[in-house]
Amino acid sequence: MRVEEIKRVAVVGMGIMGPDIALACAFRGYGVAALDTQQESLERARKRLEANIRFGLEQGIIDREKADDVRNRIDFTLDWDRAMDHVQYVTEAVPENLAIKRDVFRRIGKRCGKAVVVGSNTSSMGIDEISAEMRFPERAVVTHWFIPAHLMPVVEVVPGRNTAAWATSLACDFLSGIERRPVVCGENPGFVHNYIQAAMFRAALTLVEEGVCSAKDVDAVVQNGFALRLASIGPIRMADYAGLDTCLNLFKYVHQKTGDDGFKPPGILEEMVARGELGMKTGRGFYDYSTEEVERIRKEADLTVLESRKVEEKVKTA
């Protein structure tokens, strides 16, 4: 199947994540079957859709015509057969419970043709486990969205050993087509996003537990610190910007003082510094840099900080 052949999709599970994923698909012109087993979930999902539409209208992201179009594209249903009729792509967002997910994948497998890719929004599980009882498990792949799914661009795409390359590509093409940024990564507990977030959360809690500062002050430091520029410069490019030698020295010092092996300097960093690859200042680090590129990145980081601070002001005065 080619991405152009996808016209109608199903989103299974209308809890916290499902309605926003359905909206992201409908917004880009797909017909969406929004399936759940509970009437209350469908009612909440409808309300959530209306709240999102109101926000879109307030912010000028959509007009009334587009709002009606989106509403008309989403078919909220409890009827499994109706939902799976003529769909060319499925996303599952049922609870994080292996037995439930397995059963849903088994049912989708029986009902949908072998070219229909099925993405799982699991936050933690391997796709091979989830698709273990499915017909044609090679079309199953993790597609992990983030809350609020209709606004957050990144979707982690995690193939398993049984996932076919064509299924991963098709999932990426579909996601790119609805203006997401799919990032394919290997299987890892917490994938990429939650692995990094968990490390940060652990450090934040240690600071609070040890009385270094309050929870409020941890949040203040992060929100008014690196969080402000993260939208334009990720942690690895940021290390290139700061200087990899400086980062290495910081690791060594914190490791020596705390004895916490989590701060043991990573071998890759020591090797790069030994080779004189110190980041932007030497033109090579984890990325290569020309002088113009360095200027562009600095400007983008500065602009991101300014824009984030404007949002903060806007929210305060709203």
Ligand X SMILES: NC(=O)c1ccc[n+]([C@@H]2O[C@H](COP(=O)([O-])OP(=O)(O)OC[C@H]3O[C@@H](n4cnc5c(N)ncnc54)[C@H](O)[C@@H]3O)[C@@H](O)[C@H]2O)c1
Footprint on this chain of ligand X (rule: CB under 6 A): 12-18, 35-38, 41, 93-96, 100, 104, 121-123, 145-147
Minimum distance of ligand X from residue 3's CB (angstroms):
23
Distances (CA, A) of 283 to 240, 276, 277, 294, 300: 9, 10, 8, 9, 18
Nearest distance, CB of residue 258 and ligand X, angstroms: 31
- CB 215 to ligand X: min, Å: 20
Burial status of residue 213 (CB atoms within 10 A of its CB: 0-12, 13-18, 19 or more): middle
Toward ligand X, which CB reaches closer, 48 or 73? 48
Residue nearer to ligand X on the CB measure, 197 or 258: 197
Cβ-based nearer residue to ligand X, 124 or 214 = 124
Contact assessment for residue 168 and residue 195, using Cβ atoms and an 8 Å cutoff: no
HSE-up of residue 63 (Cα within 13 Å, Cβ side): 1
**To the nearest whole angstrom, how small is the minimum distance from the Cβ of residue 270 to ligand X?**
35
Q: Which SS3 state, helix, strand or coil, does residue 281 take?
A: helix
CB 163, min distance to ligand X, A = 17
With 0-12 / 13-18 / 19 or more C-beta atoms within 10 angstroms meaning exposed / middle / buried, residue 222 is middle
Q: Which residue is nearest to ligand X (CB)?
A: 15
Q: CB-wise, 147 or 184, nearer to ligand X?
A: 147
What residues have CB less than 8 Å from 38, skipping those under 6 apart?
A: 78
**Of 149, 197, 206, 120, the residue nearest 24 (C-alpha):** 149
Of 77 and 308, CB closest to ligand X: 77
Residue 147 and residue 20 in contact, taking contact as beta carbons nearer than 8 Å:
yes
Q: Between 15 and 265, whose beta carbon lies closer to ligand X?
A: 15
CB of 18 to ligand X, least distance (A): 6
